[in-house]
Amino acid sequence: MSTRVTLKSIAEDLGLSHMTVSRALSGHGNVQSDTRRAVQERARTLGYVKSAAASAMRGRPTRIVGLLVPNLVNEFYALFADTMARACDAEALQLVIHVTNDDAAVEQQALQRLREVQAGAVVMVPAPQSDRPEPARPEDMRIVQLIRRRDQAAALLIDDAAAISAAVDHLVARGHRRIGFIGADQQLSSGRERLLAYHHALQRHQIAPDHTLTITAPPSFRMGHDGAATLLDGKVSVTALICGGFEISNGALEACLGRGTRLPNDLAFVGYGDPAAYQWIAGGITTIRLPVAEMARGAVRGLAQTLGPTSERQISDSYPAKLIIRRSS
């Protein structure tokens, strides 16, 4: 029965005190160099691993960071998580991922769990909030909001106003006047801002806003799907559609393809986010592309600093989105 290899067990094994072993392995205090070598040697052959639990108890930060995303299937989140995971490995951090399904209760659970393991920092896409009073922000865990912002704490946001504007310009230039929009509702900062950008752009072209062309609700694949279906059902006439969210975009696209809508003949389509496959669907999906990987690397860079000495630098950045024009519009 293999009992755990600890500093003490190595120490007894070598006839030393456990402190010498500690010093030898951590490289901190002074240790005779041959003693050090002997200890290191022994530790390696015995397969010693330092207990993170014990270290954490001594009050040092845990090198655990959390990531909360609505899902991992959408390529934006998947790529973000992928990039972040690689960056974390480089910084010797452990990445704990929780999928919230955009559910505030699940989100709170996840945060709770992360506090139990004393995660030093968490990157999270805040779920749409119900009206309940939101729990106090724990002070011991640095939180960075992603994409949407719920409060004024640190955040990595997308600056997509220009891209949305460009999308409208592009569609208008193609002769469209009845341009639909499906986006998140007012509960989310991202929803508010994208809708605003869309409205402003219409205004610039002297197109009166038509609320039957604007669909907003908590964002999801299903919502995007149903929203597009509603618009296409012919009660209103739309000739173009702009999507204001990752899930929404995929859902709306599926609705179009599923019913045989020809892009761009029947509908000019502008998606949101740029999964690899968009390039190959319907001759290429016009879409709003985000610098996903840069965002993820930026997040970890910020965290790594954060986790060191208590630097109070707020990482708040805004990354520019860009309109990619392809055949679908």
Partner DNA sequence: GTGAAAGCGCTAACAA
Partner DNA sequence: TTGTTAGCGCTTTCAC
Name the site residues for a second copy (rule: CB under 8 A): 2, 4, 47, 49-54, 56-57, 62, 64, 71-73, 75, 78-79, 81-82, 85-86, 89, 92, 94-99, 101, 106, 109-110, 112-118, 136, 138-140, 250, 253-254, 257, 275-277, 279-282
Q: Does 44 bind DNA (CB under 7 A)?
A: no
Q: What angle do CA 64, 67, 71 make, to 5 degrees?
A: 150
Q: Does 28 bind DNA (CB under 7 A)?
A: yes
Q: Does 132 bind DNA (CB under 7 A)?
A: no
- Report whether 329 contacts 268 (CB < 8 A): yes
Q: Which does 113 bind (CB under 5 to 8 A by kind): a second copy, DNA, none?
A: a second copy
Q: Which does 23 bind (CB under 5 to 8 A by kind): DNA, a second copy, none?
A: DNA
What's the min distance (Å) between Cβ of 124 and a second copy? 14
d(CA 221, CA 273): 13
- Report whether 194 contacts 164 (CB < 8 A): yes
Number of residues that this document lists for the chain: 329
Q: Does 8 bind DNA (CB under 7 A)?
A: yes
- Report whether 187 contacts 128 (CB < 8 A): yes
Q: Does 51 bind DNA (CB under 7 A)?
A: yes
What's the min distance (Å) between Cβ of 168 and a second copy? 26
- Report whether 139 contacts 199 (CB < 8 A): no
Q: Which does 62 bind (CB under 5 to 8 A by kind): DNA, a second copy, none?
A: a second copy
Selected from 1, 44, 47, 58, the binder of DNA by CB under 7 A is 58
Looking at residue 297, its amino acid is: R
Beta bridge partners of 28: none
What's the min distance (Å) between Cβ of 138 and a second copy? 7
d(CA 156, CA 148): 8
- Report whether 80 contacts 108 (CB < 8 A): no
Q: Phi and psi dihedrals of 124, rounded to 5?
A: -140, 145
* Neighbour count for residue 260 (Cβ, 10 Å): 7
What's the min distance (Å) between Cβ of 203 and a second copy? 34
Selected from 41, 46, 50, 236, the binder of DNA by CB under 7 A is 50
Tell me the window of 49-57, 69-77, 229-237, 270-278 that interacts with DNA (CB under 7 A): 49-57
Based on its alpha-carbon atoms, the radius of gyration of the chain, rounded to whole angstroms, reads 26
Q: Does 235 bind DNA (CB under 7 A)?
A: no
Give the single-character DSSP code of 17.
-
**Is the alpha carbon torsion for 193, 198, 204, 210 positive or negative?**
negative
Q: Does 35 bind DNA (CB under 7 A)?
A: yes
Q: Which does 27 bind (CB under 5 to 8 A by kind): a second copy, DNA, none?
A: none
- Which residues sit at the interface with DNA, rule CB under 7 A? 4, 6-8, 16-20, 22-23, 25-26, 28-32, 35, 50-51, 54-55, 57-60
